């Protein structure tokens, strides 16, 4: 079946829905999502969304820009960061106008809180300038992503946006360098559909599910990233995966940074507050990547609790009242998932794969780029976590990613409105669904073969161990071998359920194919990058190397395997400095 | 440890009607019921169908009936149950599509009826609209709803009358009626101030008992009822 819309948006998280709100008054828009829209992972974001509103204290866009550049370990493109931080206040006010129930200050303005890495400049008693935390994260209790996601969906209902919920996209139709649509299958009946469009926008989210321990939803299998890669689009900076220091053991469910902000201790098996050995002055409040590496070192050197792969986050000294007032959500998580009462017992935690800095390369206006020279792919756009503009460089600051999704969803929407005024439908190639139908036929035809779950488990386990917080040449090479071996096995993967209706086994197999596809790009990029920058830490090359590596990785899929090219970082105002806090 | 799940199965392509099947699996006491389902799916029967995504109670995908009570499979652990024989059914009263996956179209159609979006009839200011902390507090609980459907699927009034809007939709109406920024109170009250709206709620409290976000839905509906009564005066 062929559907025709001016614009097809894939993804109903903050990026996709914000773009839908922007475009739907002017064009015929269809939004495809494998999840019902309000189930998208944007809803899990707790902490906040950054913007220098200055509602609680003096703040400046310029400070937000500097913090983001520094946080990115100077790999973020400064033109993109300037634009994002500059548009942030308007983008937030618009969200408020659309109905987002932000928490409020005493005067009734949008409330703001502190978050790691966001600072203001002050002059100390000796006349020296220094930077201290600033109240910049706009929030709605600890459910910021949830309320924004629901509000944007509500606005789409108001605008009568056409949703294709529980449709799973399979491939892009790119012909002569022009994107003409895509194929998807309807989970409800297993039928393959073709979507013909003047333009396609991806807002398909992140790829944390390549790791065993992750804060990411099942759905975050990087489908969009993999599908673009397969269609000949390169991927940028894939090796930069953020690991959050405190995932609840063993699953990796997020325990917010706020727990340490409120005074929580990190303790190893010897009862030591080990951060004194790594960051004696700031202790538990060192930057995310540093705390993550410290925890992982304790675990690797056998000082995990009872020799296991976790340490303790101790909040018991904070007392019941403070936990109830400030950290109710994570107190609940600890009780529900670890059976632990944080008032009486420490919480077992370990680093957890959290955010994908890399993705589909785009310019400032959401156009997807076909190469390192900046050639635009006509008719193809991307925004949000699946895209790499790059505003996060080697490490994103907390609360900058909801902002990224909203600002770029909005700006890409504006670009699209202009484009769609002029654009025409290009004719579809004959039988765009052929490859997908063959893939389905192959899978449905299997009577035995490799077990998908074994492949998935091994991939996730080894990615966590070999391409995780600490990396080195030997492990990365071995990881590449594993991926190639698993890719080989995957060719013979067995689909045991032959039904058409909600064949979620089929969906998981396709997702697994996508995990393998982009994991190759993560590991290849990580192996080549012989330095430490932000979230990418090579124990065999333990320094940042601006002479050789202050550049973006652009990975291409070729017949011979992945080929890496590079492009320069945009540096405007801020020259790279050592990243000290 | 071992646990036995008795799961209600139904494959529309094969089965005339739903049936139960038991699966005994090895689990840790800290496994979520969702992990148990995964284990069945991955180790025993790949065809087992259920929805899930976030895995920690925020996306609302996996509401189902566990030992007779609607809850999120990702929000309860094996150790939360005394007996290691656990019964799992799809949300009751909704059409089953396959196994634990139910058709939520009707649920969302009712959500749309209450005009679930902010309607403001004034030009927005350059910056944010102001809202006092007291006004914001009125919608504190209501905005937490994750649209999981557990409440509506537990409501006897809805079981006996499918035209009833149900608790989730009316909670959404509350969320906007009591939002100080909204200008469409009357329109929305018209929708809920009907025999198949608010007045079919007989304060049975099933919804409150099952809501995984611990929202006191009945209290919110009583506030709406008061509003309706007031405007009749
Ligand atoms: C636990 C947690 C807490 C976080 N907290 C914060 C925070 O406090 N502040 C902050 O700024 N950031 C936070 N982040 C990061 C932030 O939430 C995400 O980066 C952001 O929400 C991504 O939005 P998105 O729109 O790009 O993607 P998503 O919200 O992930 O949406 C992706 C969409 O794509 C669809 N999709 C994917 N694949 C397919 C396919 N094959 N076919 C059809 N549809 C598909 C999905 O259905 C979904 O609708 C947090 C992340 C996590 C995991
Ligand atoms: S009110 Fe509670 S039970 Fe009902 S849909 Fe919302 S979260 Fe689910
Ligand atoms: S999987 Fe999201 S609520 Fe359970």
> Is the minimum distance from the CB of A44 to ligand 1 under 6 angstroms?
yes
Chain A, window 185-244: residues with a beta carbon less than 8 angstroms from a chain B beta carbon: 188, 217-219
Q: Give yes or no for residue A328 having a pLDDT over 80.
A: no
Q: Is B54 on the interface with A (CB under 8 A)?
A: yes
Residue in B69, B71, B208, B217 to alter for ligand 2 test, most ligand atoms within 8 A of Cβ? B217
| Three-class secondary structure of residue B208 per DSSP | helix
pLDDT value at A130 more than 90: no
SS3 content of chain A, % helix, strand, coil (to 5): 40, 25, 40
A326 touches chain B (CB under 8 A): no
pLDDT score of A348 more than 70: yes
pLDDT of residue A186: 98
Per CB-CB distance under 8 Å, the chain B contacts of A108 are 130-133
CA A144 to each of CA A43, A246, A306, A402, A514: distance values in angstroms, whole numbers, following the listed order: 8, 19, 36, 9, 29
pLDDT tens-digit profile of A245-256?
999 998 899 998
pLDDT at A260: 86
Residue B158 Cβ < 6 Å to ligand 2? no
Q: Is A538 a catalytic residue?
A: no
The β-bridge partners of A525 are: none
Query: If 0-12 CB within 10 Å is exposed, 13-18 middle and 19+ buried, where does residue A172 land?
Result: buried
Instruction: Please report which confidence band the pLDDT of residue A326 belongs to, taking 50, 70 and 90 as the band edges.
Output: confident
B170 ligand 2 Cβ < 6 A: no
Summarize the confidence of residues A255-263 as an average pLDDT.
Answer: 83
Tell me which chain B residues have a C-beta less than 8 angstroms from the C-beta of A157.
112, 116-117
Three-class SS state of A235: strand
A383, A244 contact by CB (below 8 A)? no
Q: Is B151 in the pocket of ligand 2 (CB under 6 A)?
A: yes
B128 contacts in chain A (CB < 8 Å)? 92-93, 96-97, 102, 109-110
- pLDDT at residue A47, as a whole number: 85
Q: Give counts: helices (H), strands (E), chain B.
A: 8, 7
- Cα–Cα dist A324/A262, whole Å: 12
CB of A26 within 8 A of CB of A239? no
Tens digit of pLDDT for each residue in A513-540?
Answer: 999 999 999 999 999 999 999 999 999 9
Of B13, B52, B101, the CB nearest to A500: B13
The string of pLDDT tens digits covering residues A366-375 is 999 999 999 9
Using the predicted structure, report yes or no on whether residue B200 has a pLDDT greater than 90: yes
Q: How far apart are CA B166 and CA B210, in angstroms?
A: 14
Please tell me the distance from the alpha carbon of residue A559 to that of residue A145, in angstroms, as a whole number.
Answer: 40
**Other CB atoms within 10 A of residue A509 CB:** 22
Share of chain A above pLDDT 90, in %: 87
Cβ–Cβ below 8 Å for B49 and A504: yes
pLDDT in tens, B94-152: 999 999 999 999 999 999 999 999 999 999 999 999 999 999 999 999 999 999 999 99
Residues A218, B41: C-beta atoms closer than 8 Å: no
Whether A443 has a pLDDT exceeding 90, the answer reads: yes
Q: For the residues A480-492, what does the mean pLDDT come to?
A: 98
Structure tokens belonging to residue A150? 């629901």
Cβ of A10 less than 6 Å from ligand 1: yes
The CB density around residue A194, as the number of other CB atoms within 10 Å, is: 19
Q: Would you call B47 an interface residue with chain A, using a CB distance cutoff of 8 Å?
A: yes
Q: Are A515 and A208 in contact (CB under 8 A)?
A: no
d(CA A498, CA A508): 14
Contact A323, A332 (CB under 8 A): no
Q: Tell me, what's the pLDDT at A581?
A: 61
Picking from A357, A89, A143, A144, the residue whose alpha carbon sits closest to that of residue A240 is A357
- Tell me if A352 sits within 8 A of A214, measured CB to CB: yes
pLDDT one-digit tens code per residue, B5-51 = 999 999 999 999 999 999 999 999 989 999 999 999 999 999 999 99
Q: Average pLDDT, whole number, for chain A?
A: 95
CA distance A456 to A462: 10
Which CA distances in Å does A489 have to A46, A234, A459, A502?
39, 25, 12, 25
Half-sphere exposure of A571 (CA within 13 A, CB side): 16
pLDDT reported for residue A70: 93
Distance (Å, whole) CA A403 – CA A49 = 6
Q: Across residues B62-78, what is the average pLDDT?
A: 97
The H-or-E segment that residue A129 falls in is: strand A129-133
Q: Which residues lie closer than 8 Å to B126 by C-beta, 6 or more apart?
A: A93
Contact between A410 and A364 under an 8 Å Cβ cutoff? The reply is no
Angstrom distance (rounded) from CA A516 to CA A452: 12
Under the banding of pLDDT at 50, 70 and 90, the label for residue A271 is very high
pLDDT of residue A280: 82
> Residue A558: in which H helix or E strand, if any?
strand A551-558
Indicate the top mutation candidate among B50, B59, B100 to test ligand 3's pocket, ranked by most ligand atoms within 8 A of CB.
B59
- Per-residue pLDDT, averaged over B57-81, amounts to 96
**Backbone Cα Rg of chain B:** 20
A352 phi and psi angles, rounded to 5 deg: -135, 135
- CA-to-CA dists, residue A328 to A255, A365, B229, angstroms: 11, 39, 36
Tokens found for residue A465: 């161990």
Average pLDDT of span A70-77: 95
Comparing alpha-carbon positions, the chain A residue that sits nearest to B42 is: A453
Q: What CA–CA distance (Å, rounded) separates A190 from A431?
A: 18
Q: What is the pLDDT of residue A329?
A: 77
Question: Does residue A176 come out as left (phi exceeding 0), alpha (psi in the -120 to 50 range) or beta?
Answer: left
For residue B146, list chain A residues with Cβ-Cβ distance below 8 A: 38, 43, 146
Helix axes of A78-98 and A144-158: crossing angle, nearest 10 degrees: 70
| A189 close to A208: Cβ distance less than 8 angstroms | no
Mean pLDDT, residues B163-192 taken together: 97
- Between B227 and A281, where is the model more confident? B227
Task: Look at residue B72 in the predicted model and tell me its pLDDT.
Answer: 98
pLDDT tens digits along A174-208: 998 999 999 999 999 999 999 999 999 999 999 99
The ligand placed nearest to the CA atom of residue A41 is: 1
Confidence of residue A108 (pLDDT cuts 50, 70, 90): very high
Percent of chain B with pLDDT over 90: 96
Residue with tokens 């101790």: A314
Q: How far is A539 from chain B (nearest CA, A)?
A: 33
The answer to whether the CB of B223 falls within 8 A of the CB of B178 is: yes
pLDDT at residue A257 in the model: 83
Instruction: Catalytic residue, from A136, A143, A288, A411: name it.
Output: A288
* Chain B CB within 8 Å of residue A499 CB: yes
Closest atom of ligand 2 relative to the B147 alpha carbon:
5
**B53 and A219: CB-CB below 8 Å?**
yes
Chain B interface, best mutation among A34, A36, A347, A451, by max B CB count within 10 A:
A36
The pLDDT of residue A144: 94
Which residues does a 6 A CB cutoff place in the pocket of ligand 3? B 52-55, 57-62, 72, 74
Residue B209's contacts (CB-CB under 8 Å, 6 or more residues apart) are B69, B154
CB contact under 8 Å between A499 and B47, yes or no, is: yes
pLDDT-based confidence at residue B75 (cuts at 50, 70, 90): very high
Q: How far apart are CA A550 and CA A76, in angstroms?
A: 10
Across the interface, whether the CB atoms of A336 and B124 are under 8 A apart is answered no
Mean residue pLDDT of chain B comes to: 96
**pLDDT at residue A362 above 80?**
yes
Ligand 1 neighbourhood includes A145 CB (under 6 angstroms): yes
């Amino acid at each position: 079946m062929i559907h025709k819309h001016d614009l097809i948006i894939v993804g109903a998280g903050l990026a996709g829905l914000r773009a839908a709100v922007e475009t739907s008054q002017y064009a015929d828009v269809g939004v495809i999502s494998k999840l019902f829209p309000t189930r998208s992972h944007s809803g899990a974001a707790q902490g906040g969304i950054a913007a220098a509103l200055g509602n609680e204290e003096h703040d400046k866009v310029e400070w937000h820009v500097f913090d983001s550049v520094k946080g990115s370990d100077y790999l973020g493109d400064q033109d993109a960061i300037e634009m994002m931080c500059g548009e942030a206040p308007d983008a937030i006010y618009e969200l408020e106008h659309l109905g987002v129930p932000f928490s409020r200050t005493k005067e009734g303005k949008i409330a703001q809180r502190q978050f790691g890495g966001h600072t203001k400049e002050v002059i100390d008693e000796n006349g020296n300038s220094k930077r201290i935390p600033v109240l910049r994260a706009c929030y709605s209790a600890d459910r910021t992503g949830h309320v924004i996601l629901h509000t944007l969906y509500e606005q789409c209902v108001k605008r009568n946006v056409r949703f294709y919920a529980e449709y799973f996209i399979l491939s892009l139709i790119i012909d002569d360098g022009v994107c003409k649509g895509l194929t998807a299958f309807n989970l409800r009946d297993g039928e393959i559909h073709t979507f013909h469009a003047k333009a396609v926008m991806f807002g398909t989210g992140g790829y944390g599910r390549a790791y065993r321990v992750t804060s990411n939803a099942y759905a975050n299998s990087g489908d969009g990233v993999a599908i673009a890669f397969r269609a000949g689009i390169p991927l940028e900076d894939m090796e930069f995966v953020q690991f959050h220091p405190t995932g609840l053991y063993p699953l990796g469910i997020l325990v917010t940074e706020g727990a340490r902000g409120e005074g929580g201790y990190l303790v190893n098996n010897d009862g030591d507050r080990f951060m004194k050995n790594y960051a004696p002055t700031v202790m538990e409040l060192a930057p995310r990547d540093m705390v993550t590496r410290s925890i992982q070192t304790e675990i690797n050197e056998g000082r995990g609790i009872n020799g296991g792969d976790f340490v303790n986050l101790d909040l018991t000294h904070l007392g019941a009242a403070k936990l109830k007032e400030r950290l109710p959500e994570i107190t609940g998580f600890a009780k529900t998932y670890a059976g632990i009462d944080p008032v009486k017992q420490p919480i077992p935690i370990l680093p957890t794969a959290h955010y994908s800095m890399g993705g589909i390369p785009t310019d400032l206006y959401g156009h997807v780029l076909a190469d390192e020279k900046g050639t635009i792919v006509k008719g193809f756009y991307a925004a949000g976590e699946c895209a790499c503009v790059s505003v996060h460089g080697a490490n994103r600051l907390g609360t900058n990613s909801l902002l990224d999704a909203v600002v770029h969803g909005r700006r890409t929407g504006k670009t699209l409105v202009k484009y769609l005024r002029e654009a025409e439908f290009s004719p579809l190639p004959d039988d765009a669904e052929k490859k997908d139908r063959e893939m389905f036929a192959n899978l449905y035809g299997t009577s035995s073969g490799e077990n998908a779950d074994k492949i998935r488990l091994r991939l996730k386990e080894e990615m966590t161990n070999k391409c995780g917080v600490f990396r080195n040449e030997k492990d990365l090479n071995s990881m590449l071998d594993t991926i190639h071996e698993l890719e080989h096995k995957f060719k013979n993967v067995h689909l045991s359920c032959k039904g058409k209706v909600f064949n979620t086994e089929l969906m998981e197999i396709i997702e697994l194919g996508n995990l393998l596809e982009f994991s190759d790009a993560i590991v290849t990029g990580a192996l080549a990058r012989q330095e430490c920058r932000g979230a990418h830490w090579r124990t065999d090359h333990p320094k940042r190397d601006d002479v050789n590596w202050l550049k973006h990785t652009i990975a291409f899929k070729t017949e011979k395997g992945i080929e890496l090219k590079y492009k320069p970082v945009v540096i405007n105002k801020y020259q790279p400095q050592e990243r000290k806090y | 440890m071992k646990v036995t799940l008795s799961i209600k199965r139904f494959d529309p392509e094969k089965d005339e009607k739903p049936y139960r099947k038991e699966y005994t699996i090895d689990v840790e006491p800290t496994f979520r019921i969702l992990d148990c389902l995964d284990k069945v799916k991955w180790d025993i029967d790949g065809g087992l169908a259920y929805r899930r995504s976030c895995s920690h109670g925020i996306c609302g995908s996996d509401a189902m009936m566990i030992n007779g009570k609607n809850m999120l499979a990702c929000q309860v652990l094996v150790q939360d149950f005394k007996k290691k024989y656990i019964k799992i059914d799809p949300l009751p009263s909704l059409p089953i599509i396959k196994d634990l996956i139910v058709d939520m179209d009707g649920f969302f159609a009712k959500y749309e009826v209450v005009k679930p979006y902010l309607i403001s009839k004034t030009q927005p200011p350059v910056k944010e609209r102001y809202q006092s902390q007291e006004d914001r507090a009125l919608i504190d609980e209501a905005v937490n709803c994750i649209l999981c459907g557990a409440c509506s699927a537990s409501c006897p009034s809805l079981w006996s009358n499918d035209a009833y809007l149900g608790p989730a939709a009316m909670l959404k109406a509350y969320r906007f009626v009591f939002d100080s920024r909204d200008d469409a109170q009357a329109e929305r009250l018209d929708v809920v101030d009907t025999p198949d709206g608010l007045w079919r709620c007989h304060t049975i409290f099933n919804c409150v008992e099952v809501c995984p976000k611990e929202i006191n839905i009945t209290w919110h509906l009583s506030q709406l009822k008061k509003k309706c009564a007031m405007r009749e005066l």
